[in-house]
Amino acid sequence: MNKNLTIITLVLLTLNTINAQENEVIIDFTTQKFIGNESELNREKYFSMHDSYTNPDLVSDADYLFKELGIEHGRTFGAASPLRKSKTKIPSVATAKKNAKIKNAQIKRSPLYKDYATTDLIITDHPKDAFQLNLDHHKIAAYNAAYIKNAYPIMPKYYEVMNEPFVHSIDYVKSWDETEAVIVEMSKLHKIVADKVHSEIPNIMVGGYSSAYPEVERKDFWHWNTRMKTFMDIAGESMQFFATHIYDGRNVEGGFSYRSGSNSEGILDLIEAYSFKKWGVVKPHLISEYGYTAKGLIGEPYSPELNATCLIAYNKILMQLLDKPDRLLKAVPFITAKAGWFYKDKKRNPNGYPYPWVLKKKEADGSYTFTHLTKFYELWKDVEGKRIEVSSNNPDIQIHGFSKKGKIFIAINNLSDETQTTSLNFLNNSSNYIKNSTLRRLFKNAEGLPELTYLKTENNLETISLKAGETIILECNVTYIEFKNSIKESNYYTETYLQAIEKDKAILFNFDDVEAIKNGRAYIKMGIGRAHNLSKKPSVMLNGNKVEVPNNWAGYDQLPRDRFFGVIGIPVEIKYFITGNNQLEITFPDSGGHVSSVILNLENREN
């Protein structure tokens, strides 16, 4: 089988050292890291595909994909679909049970069921099959609960009532002016369905709303107020997670833009902040799709160059989501199996081209071959273990590290559109544990094609240069390592959120029950949405101490967007924090826009 890997054995690995001292990553094999109470990397959570074990498309490749590469099943349109046959009549509960019995038998006959059935699966429905105006929500809920309860031999963990419903709100009315009322009704349906399913099936989590284009800052946060906030206000009490889709590329209209980096951080932090304000807890995220999308991709010939762009997006977003294991249930890259249904779609795909996001594509002779998207899973193959302490002084250089018996995995990604060179600073003699290492590199080559290389070396790396959008994984074979220290990351929230910015007027944030630390790191995560010509460097005072705001943030400058929206991470001296209530003041020199969220991030190191 061609795995599309280039293996290069090097005696000496020559790396670019220009500007190496400007960027630095710190790596400590001897210190275990916790984010909340999470340390172990959960591969089921992060390395799935947008497909189900109920689909037989990949049976012939099951050993390679699911055993060797460790791909998990992530999401399927296999929920109740009460309105699939009729848009005006809701089937009875008896019909639900009958249809579910048929589905149950089909699942058990699936060739992947015996070896690969999993509870860690998201089920959802298309809006057209799940919702209509002026129908009885309670009857729909009764049908859905009866169907789901009986359809699955192994109950999935996650149920999204509908997929990306609000972008389809226009399908039910004549003008966009009427869609806000549709959104309210869709939100009501979510709550009623969730309450019914929870009462009937306590071991499945219900959530939503699967936001397709979370441009929350649009029209000075009108989009937030009329979409996610409305949903949280109406249905949020009954939701066990909030589902969001994160894509680089284009929104419904407009130019190219990135969500990876500060923008997606701003979206997710705003959801967390409002969750804390309403309920005093941060309800978890479910990222049921992420990757790259744009207009004009559907119905076009297969493009290796597009695969390269998608791979860069997957890795950028994954590296961010790895920062949230304590408040993230699952993250599914939008990579499907064969998408055989798309070849039959004569309207959108008259020439019979492959769906752009498939693992296997159909050739002219009817056979199927792997696309470059398999490289995402090949890159991350076998990466697992307990987190170790790593950090980067540049938000454009993302880093994670994991340790298991005899192995260390260091993942580094370049969010920037330019080459970045960084030094590797191994603390507590960590590099002395390395016997040899392999450097996996996934990048877009000079021809615009995705390239995955393995570079083997006996030498310890001191610097490394990453191409634009490149991801590397340094796999080290190591001697026995025993953790000698630990570092625990905690996040603190305030009930103050989405504050309008007025010139020279301090915005006050109070954080209760903070535990001050004596050794470690600390950051203020400040989310802002403002016009590009307005300041991103406010005066920040923490407990009366002035804090310097950096000029850099994760990702690009966002100039193709209508305005800047994202999180700026502000390093803080830990001595400024006190145990108990901490007061933060943010004052901008100009008016306009909002501070969307502020979160305190403290990493407490115990020696």
- What residue has token string 């071959």? 369
- Set 160, 215, 289, 389: catalytic member: 289
Please tell me the distance from the alpha carbon of residue 76 to that of residue 105, in angstroms, as a whole number.
17
Please tell me the distance from the alpha carbon of residue 231 to that of residue 212, in angstroms, as a whole number.
14
Q: Between the CA of residue 75 and those of 262, 321, 405, what are the distances in Å?
A: 26, 17, 32
The residue ranges of DSSP E strands in 378-470, in sequence order, are: 386-392, 397-404, 407-414, 420-426, 434-444, 450-457, 463-466
Contact 307, 450 (CB under 8 A): yes
Q: Where are the alpha helices (DSSP H) in 373-505?
A: 374-379
Pairing type for strands 24-35 and 420-426 reads: parallel
Contact 321, 331 (CB under 8 A): yes
Please tell me the distance from the alpha carbon of residue 285 to that of residue 578, in angstroms, as a whole number.
30
Helix (H) or strand (E) segment spanning residue 222: helix 218-226
SS (H, E, C) 235-256: HHHHCCEEEEEEEEECCCCCCC
22 DSSP 8-state letter: G
Would residue 253 show up in a list of annotated catalytic residues for this protein? no
Would residue 289 show up in a list of annotated catalytic residues for this protein? yes
Using CA of residue 109, residue 114, residue 117, residue 119, what is the dihedral sign? positive
- The gap between the terminal CA atoms of the chain, to the nearest Å, is 48
- Set 38, 160, 164, 603: catalytic member: 164
Q: Which residues are catalytic?
A: 164, 289
